Amino acid sequence: MTNTVDYTFQIDAGPIVFIEVQGFRLGKSTIRRNIPVYEENALDDDLLTEGRRNLLSYMESRGYFEATVELRRESDAEHNTVRVIYEINPGERHKVVRVDIKGNAYFRSEDLLPNMQVQARSLLLRHGRYSEALLRSDVRDIENKYKANGFAEVTINTEVKDDYQGNNQIAVFLHVTEGPQTLVGKFEIIGNDSQTTDSFPPLNTQSGQPFSDSNVAQDRDIVLNYYFNQGFPNASFQANASPAADHHMDVVFHITEGDRVYVDQVLVSGREFTQPHVIYRELQVKTGDPLSQANMLETQQRLYDVGIFSQVDTAVQDPDGTQPRKNVLVQVREAKRYTFNYGAGFEFQTGQSTGNNKQPLGGAGVSPLGSFDVSRLNFLGRDHTITFASRVGKLQQRGLLSYEAPRWFNNPNLKLTFTAFFDHTLDVNTFTSQRLEGTVQAGQILNKFSTIDYRFNYRLVKATDIVPTLSPEQLPILSQPVRLGEPGFGYIRNRRDNDLNTTRGSYFTVDAGVAAHYFGSQADFSRILVQQATYHSFGKRSRQLVFARSTRVGLETPFGSTSISQPGEPLPTNIIPLPERFYMGGGNSHRGFGLNQAGPRDPQSGFPIGGSGLFLNNFELRFPPPTLPFVGTNMSFAIFHDMGNVFSDGDHMLTGLLRWHQAKGTCVQGLGTPFVLGQGAALCNYDYTSHAIGLGLRYKTPVGPVRFDFGYNLNPTTFPNFCAAKDSNGNCSVFNFVGTKQASPFNIYFSIGQTF
């Protein structure tokens, strides 16, 4: 069979080039991916040979382990054309059903087999992977591993059985003859007159450890780098090994230190706006110190970490000179002080508020989203930063102004931040949330994995545009602005390998605070939210399955009294302001609900009113990206299971976790009773665990994966329906109990970034 690619190339005034593949039918996208062709050098022999190798590797990956690819060119001077032909002879298709190692005693087979390129068939490799070149490479790698552990006489023989147990099956056997292991006998270091042996970094060569030339070579680099960083640029190293009894080698390291070089002066240039102390406090090389390359590199890294320099170079003046004291040059280039970022996009998901048409479940819709950010670096010549960030969309308008001062009290692990924040949110259909907030926060780095933030929030929250049918007697309370003073803290422990696309590690956060009248608050309640996530990968790095899990638990507890009533009215007790409650549902939480649609609902309108208990557990199995036409390996898939809900309070959360179905019969009981905030949810029991399953689609981009999720709720929420008639805008105009209503089990989400 023949498959001809329908494209041609004109090389300047040269011939027209046709690329053709014969003998095996391949898709055009496969041919384009494997045959590198560029218009300016389409006939380059190296590129054509690379195409042949790529096609051969592709055939082997498809199970054609005996395939051959021949390359030839046919020229037609009369028509000024050149035809490049790759002729494929696929041979028989095979499956690798077994790969086994025998004779290995020092290393276990389960430690060697996963690192081999030759692999038996599996769920991800339908035909396995095998070629003679891959097998030779595996043998070489295993031999090197043995030799590095003292087995200098190791030999490995291979046996490949074709038609193993019939049906074009292949079995690969590696027979290992380890031979004797050579260990280090006596070990001695001489010539280290100024440096003690204990001050050296850990060495591979030690008495009783395996002896190998590769370990000695690594130790040579370790010792010379150590001396170089101690100011001995001309140090030399020589190792002698002599045989001893019982397969041992006595080893002696001879060191010639040479002359030591010290720092004379540190000269800084390129500073324009930055105050001198910002630079000098980061210098790790000082006058009189031994000249250390490691300290110079650390100086460069620390100056980059300040965040206000676009380029930092360090060098030694007259590096080849013989002077005992040399100058160190530090050249900096300040970054642009102003940075502007702007963009536009959209989000799509279910549960959105749709203009004047407010429905209990919202609707599916698209919300435009625009952003504009400005940052000012190097403020007042310090490494301080002022930032303005804004997000404007149909659901939300946000504005943030922050001032960040790192190295608080000249401590590199402390950071002080002042923040002013405005938020106008429409994503809860029950009301519109307005928030004006000021925050003072001190951040502390505990170690390379953990940080903790101490903060004080002072904010004004307000619920406006409340659904007209939501508890009329409570409107004066819910619509009043509430002043909140809340000290709190946040703890983060991040051991993920990649924040944008995690494959292994863990992530743990705690966010807690207490709002009380002692701090100028009009509402008294405590709040804590804990999240713990783990990530596990399976399979080879290029074909990894990732199992991700996240658990979130939140609890709010009111106490004292909330003074937001009108003068002369009795103070309501145990009220958590409506915008401060927990809400759940959407692409970044429970994908079985529309946006913020989980949890208790008002019994008269069916709109969500939030709760003071939250539990959410996400399971997600992320598959490795397949190779697809047009998108290559940028697209991947995931399946997920989400379980949890928003509960009326902590006590009901404990019992609700054991209830996997909603007690729907209670929805029609007690409807004549006047609604009291905090009790209405009990009229229709929403304290149960909701489950959702679904399929996710991910497309890799430089800023993280673009994500589509399709969720199906296995036990969607049921709530009373009082809407007997609607007006022209689709809003309820006649209220009378007409039965119950169920939330849609299908939900769709579009966003950027992983779920967790």
Rg (C-alpha) for the chain, rounded Å, is: 35
What is the model's pLDDT at position 117?
Answer: 87
Which of these, 606, 608, 588, lies nearest to 598 by C-alpha position? 608
Question: Looking at domain 262-334, which CATH architecture does it have?
Answer: Roll (3.10)
Which pLDDT score, from 0 to 100, does residue 388 have? 95
- Residue showing tokens 């609700």: 656
pLDDT of the residue at 26? 82
Residues forming a β-bridge with 545: 538
What does the alpha-carbon distance between residue 317 and residue 330 come to, in Å, rounded to a whole number? 10
Predicted confidence at residue 28, as pLDDT, reads 74
Phi/psi for 269 (5° steps) reads -135, 160
Cβ-proximal residues to 629 (8 Å cutoff; 6+ apart), any chain = 27, 29
Q: Residue 669 contacts by C-beta under 8 Å, 6 or more apart in sequence?
A: 683
CB 516: neighbour CB atoms within 10 A?
Answer: 17
Which residues, at least 6 apart from 474, have a Cβ–Cβ distance to it below 8 Å? 675, 676, 677
Contact 722, 673 (CB under 8 A): no
Whether 752 contacts 707, CB under 8 Å: yes
Token output for 343: 């963009």
Q: In this predicted structure, what is the pLDDT of residue 566?
A: 42
Tokens of 639: 């399946």
pLDDT at 251: 95
DSSP one-letter string for 224-238: HHHHHHTT-TT-EEE
Whether residue 700 contacts residue 500, with contact meaning beta carbons closer than 8 Å, is answered with no
Classified as helix, coil or strand, 652 is helix
CA 48, 53, 59, 61 torsion: positive or negative? negative
Report the pLDDT value the prediction gives residue 209, as an integer from 0 to 100. 93
Residues in the chain: 756
- Alpha-carbon distances of 186 from 209, 256, 277, 315, 596, rounded to whole Å: 11, 21, 52, 41, 70
pLDDT of residue 616: 96
Find, among 368, 366, 375, the residue nearest to 391 by Cα: 368
Structure tokens at 67: 């395939």
pTM for the full predicted model: 0.65
Rounded Cα distance between 323 and 315, Å, is: 16
**d(C-alpha 643, C-alpha 551), whole Å:** 10
CA of 267: how far to CAs of 270, 275, 301, 335, 350, in Å? 10, 15, 17, 20, 61
* Superfamily grouping for domain 95-177: membrane protein fhac (3.10.20.310)
Beta strands in 127-228 (DSSP E): 155-161, 169-177, 183-190
Examine domains 95-177 and 262-334 and report if their fold is the same: yes
Residues 251 and 515: their CA atoms lie apart, in Å, by 68
Interacting residues of 481 by C-beta distance below 8 A, sequence separation 6+:
460, 461, 462, 564
Give pLDDT, residue 472.
42
**Other Cβ atoms closer than 10 A to 561:** 17
The answer to whether 614 touches 582, Cβ cutoff 8 Å, is yes
For 339-752, give the CATH class. mainly beta
Bridge partners (DSSP) listed for residue 259: none
Tokens of 664: 């729907």
Distance separating the N- and C-terminal Cα atoms of the chain: 48
Class of domain 183-256: alpha beta
Mean pLDDT by 10 residues, the chain (756 residues): 48 68 81 68 73 84 83 82 86 87 92 88 78 88 93 93 81 94 94 90 92 93 93 93 92 94 94 92 92 92 91 91 91 92 71 52 66 92 93 82 90 92 67 80 93 92 60 45 89 91 92 91 91 88 83 91 45 67 90 88 77 95 81 86 93 89 63 42 76 93 84 89 71 70 86 82
d(CA 614, CA 616): 7
* Count of CB atoms situated within 10 Å of the CB of 114: 10
Architecture of domain 2-89: Roll (3.10)
* In the chain, domain spans: 2-89, 95-177, 183-256, 262-334, 339-752
Give the pLDDT confidence score for residue 52 in this predicted structure.
Answer: 87
Which residues are within 8 A (CB) of 665 and not within 5 positions of it... i.e. 6 or more apart?
none
- Residue 659 makes CB contacts below 8 A (sequence gap 6+) with 687, 688, 689
Range list of β-strands (E), 222-261: 236-244, 248-256
